[in-house]
Each structure stands twice: as C-alpha cells, then as structure tokens.
A = this chain, B = another copy of it.
C-alpha cells in the first residue's frame, strides 16, 4: 500500500458566530472572526488517498480522475464563495478549519475511483491546519 497526496486551493469568505449568544459574547469567543461582514483566506487542501499501485500504469489513482473529483466535489462548491452564506454544511456549524476539513472528508469519501480516502489536511493559514482521518 502507498499513499498519494494532491494539493488544491480555494479562496473563500467566512465568519464565526453563534446565534444563541449576544454580539458581545460572540466577540469575546471569536474576536475579530465575529465580524459578520466576513473576512477570507486562501485555503490549501491536501487530499491523501491510499491504495495499491496498478502494475501497468504505475499509478495508485489516475491523477486526471482525482483532479476531476476534487474540482467537482470541493473546489467548484467552495471557491470564491462565502462559506456561511452559500455552502449548506455551514448554515448551522461554524466554518472553522476543523469543521471544513470534516466537511471535505464527507464530500470526498467513497468518490475516489480505485483508492481509499486516507486523510484530509486543510490549511487556513500557512501556520494553522487541521487533519482528519475519518471516523475510527
């Protein structure tokens, strides 16, 4: 078994907010991220798949197929979007680095032809990232 990782990027807006809290409580918990006009990031996504190498091609996964899946399932839905306002999974959950990583896992799991999703890593900033390996 071997692992193959492909990066992709998307730029999106988000904010953090809890409707059950007052403006002041939101500010205390989320600081500048509670600004409801939103702010944004260049997100970098690393998708790792696991599988056996096809002896003819030498590939674990066809890179064109992998790119097509990432584009269709994630990039076309998240890129140049306001995550809170336009992406269904963040209507009720804050689009934190952690929650976005899990949401991407759910979007990709079972959709990689011939390989198994192993890890989703999402960078919100060059010095902050989340890793999700699915349910144990």
Assuming the A-B contacts A33-B80, A126-B7, A131-B3, are A18 and B99 also in contact, with contact meaning beta carbons closer than 8 angstroms in the complex? no
**Binary CB contact string for chain A from 4 to 28 against chain B (1 if under 8 A, 0 otherwise):** 1111110111101010100000000
Query: How many chain copies does the complex carry?
Result: 6
Q: In the complex, A32→B94 CA distance in Å?
A: 23
- Interface members, chain A 52-87 (any B CB < 8 Å): 53, 55-60, 63-64, 79-82, 85-86
CA distance A39 to B11 in the complex (A): 6
Q: How many residues of A contact B (CB 8 A)?
A: 62
Q: Judging by beta carbons under 8 Å apart, are B129 and A98 in contact?
A: no
A79 to B133, CA, bound (A): 32
Residues in A82-111 with C-beta less than 8 Å from chain B: 82, 85-86, 93-99, 101-102
Q: Which residues of B contact A48 (CB under 8 A)?
A: 131
Apart from A13-B82, A42-B126, list 8 A-B contacts with CB within 8 A.
Answer: A3-B132, A4-B128, A6-B127, A13-B39, A37-B85, A37-B86, A55-B93, A57-B96
